[in-house]
Amino acid sequence: MSKRQKLSLFPLEDLPDEVLLKILSYLDIKGVLQCGHLFKRIREISNDKSLWKKLNLTGRKIPFGFIEKAMQNGCEYLKLRYASVNGRKKSKLPCSLKFLEISFCDNHEGVLQNCHLLEKLALFGVKLHSSGIEQIIQNGETLRSLSLGPLKLRPELIQNLFIKCHQLTEVNMDCNNDAQICALVKNLTPNILKLSIRNYRVKGEHVATLVQRCKKITELDFGWTDFDSVRSIVEHLKFLEKLNLIIVGGFVMVYQTLLQLKSIPTLKVLQCHFSGDPKEIEFLKLQLTLLQEKSIPTLNVLHCHFSGNPEQIENLKLQLPHVRINSPRIHLQIARPEKGVGRSIDEDWFWEKRANQQDLFPSVDDIEKKKNIVQEHF
């Protein structure tokens, strides 16, 4: 009898638990559940915490009973992006979740309400009310990374959120008005390291308040801002490494403003978006060269986006090969869970964790619409 024939006669149920667990570790969660129907002992092994640690259910219609089972089995990293959770939700469940991605997820409340140990949380594109803010706050002692928006929340709720979540080091927030931004910059923890405020103009007075309180910031990303913001950044952020700005104004004024950044010795990445008179491009061409080669020698990435005559832009690219001009934006990825590959998103990632998408359940009906919204924002 051949060796293969001898092995085929070896009963599966006679294998040690650790061998069966090793075999199951090579399967996706669908395969693990199917094997659980073979016999009682392997069904018990199929509930081992190591098999349920990471789950990626992007874009699926998921019964809450399955979420309940995943939590009971010790799931720590759960991605429900674009998903829809259906069914009756228990008020209390054992929960060990550390990373939770529920952007564009329908009926996510039953998941979030059971979380108390989250370290990273993303809720972009979901409706939040006061109860949702309280559910985030109950993770305040452990939460380090938070991505949320667009928000239609009263400023006092945002104020309470950032007062209670004092361990945050990364925040990405889409704001809708001055009052929301004001609540953020006045109450964000002074220990914040990376901050992105998008979707609304950040005024110089907001930036001044922020940087006077939060001087440890190393990465800063603003959708729109003004010249006064740069002065405040230069004065207070001595550890800044990456900066993304959209500044509206003439090239001469923009250059004079950016030149102030030379006093930040740690600055490595500067990304600017300009709008100005195309006639000033020749002047700016010389100044950008000086900015990188002499004024801020630590820069290894200088990315500029111009509005102007296409022919002039192409000429500028040829004459400034060391500057990235009107190329795809460099995303600082502050607190955001998705991993960009060119202009697309690799859905197998959430933050630094990788987990293959599971096809255990049907796809949601409007997933492509949701993806297009994220793609535009990305």
pLDDT band at 308 (very low <50, low <70, confident <90, very high): low
Task: Name which of 73, 23, 76, 78 is nearest 56 in CA terms.
Answer: 78
Please give the mean pLDDT across all residues of the chain: 83
Q: Which residues have C-beta within 8 Å of that of residue 360, sequence separation ≥ 6? A: 29, 30, 33, 57, 60, 66
* Residue range 97-111: mean pLDDT, rounded: 92
Question: Do the domain assignments include residue 293?
Answer: yes
Q: Which of 158-172, 192-206, 297-311 has the highest mean pLDDT?
A: 158-172
Asked if residues 272 and 245 have their Cβ atoms less than 8 Å apart, the reply is yes
- For residue 378, pLDDT over 50 is answered with no
* pTM confidence score: 0.85
Confidence label for 61 from pLDDT (cuts 50, 70 and 90): very high
In a domain, 336, yes or no: yes
Decide if 19 is inside a domain. Answer: no
Q: Is residue 90 part of a domain?
A: no
In a domain, 80, yes or no: no
Please check whether residue 40 lies inside any domain of the structure: no
The position carrying tokens 């603003």 is 222
What's the confidence (pLDDT) of residue 163?
Answer: 96
Higher pLDDT, 330 or 265: 265
Q: Looking at the 3D structure of the chain, how many domains does it have?
A: 1
CA 66/CA 265 separation, integer angstroms = 51
Per-residue pLDDT of 113-133, as tens digits, reads 999 999 999 999 888 889 999
Give the per-residue pLDDT at 357. 93
**pLDDT, tens digit, for every residue of 187-236?**
999 999 999 998 788 899 999 999 999 999 999 998 778 778 888 999 99
Reduced to 3 states (helix: H, G, I; strand: E, B; else coil), residue 330 is coil
Residue 65 in any domain: the answer is no
CATH number for the domain including 232?
A: 3.80.10.10
Which residue intervals of the chain are DSSP H helices? 3-8, 17-24, 29-35, 40-45, 64-72, 109-112, 130-137, 155-164, 178-187, 204-213, 227-236, 251-258, 281-290, 310-319, 367-377
> Is 32 within the bounds of a domain?
no
pLDDT at 284 over 80: no
Q: List the beta bridge partners of residue 270.
A: 243, 302
Quote the domain boundaries for residue 272. 193-341
